[in-house]
Amino acid sequence: MQITVICHWEKGWWAEIPQLPHCYTQARRLDKLDGMVRQAAAFYTGQSPDSFTVEMQYMLGDEADDEAVSELKLLRRQMKDAQRTASVATEATARRLVARGLTMRDIGQMIGVSHQRVQRLVNG
């Protein structure tokens, strides 16, 4: 079950799970909050704590800080997507250049990876 958690900082972390009315929990540190949220949701629903996918939304009480965190999370997601796209393109390009007859070393030099990595890409 996917749950979205609204996290507030007030001398500790307070978490509200809007999908589960009146379901709240708290933790002193953010790294402990996920476990506390899972336990609260499990108690509320009767499901296993591991059955939940948790998405945290942070409310720091300062609009600029909240926006900065949201923007950074978006940029990191975009970066991961770009890395996946680049990985697929790297493999496809390496295979294409090998088929053309270029050496592994030359391909590695051209696409910015080691010749060993080219070898793994085309033989993997």
Report the range of poorest mean pLDDT among 22-26, 60-64, 92-96: 60-64
Q: Is the pLDDT of residue 123 over 90?
A: yes
Give residues with Cβ within 8 angstroms of 115, minimum separation 6: 103, 104, 105, 107, 108
Given a cut of 90, is residue 122 above it in pLDDT? yes
Dihedral of the alpha carbons of 77, 78, 82, 85, in degrees to the nearest 10: 70
pLDDT given at position 47: 95
Q: For 31-89, what is each residue's pLDDT tens digit?
A: 999 999 999 999 999 999 999 999 999 898 899 999 999 899 999 999 999 999 999 99
Whether this prediction's pTM lies above 0.85 is answered by no
Instruction: Report all structural domains of the chain as residue ranges with CATH numbers, in order of start.
Output: 1-59 (3.30.2390.10)
Residues counted in the chain = 124
Q: Which helix (H) or strand (E) holds 67?
A: helix 63-100
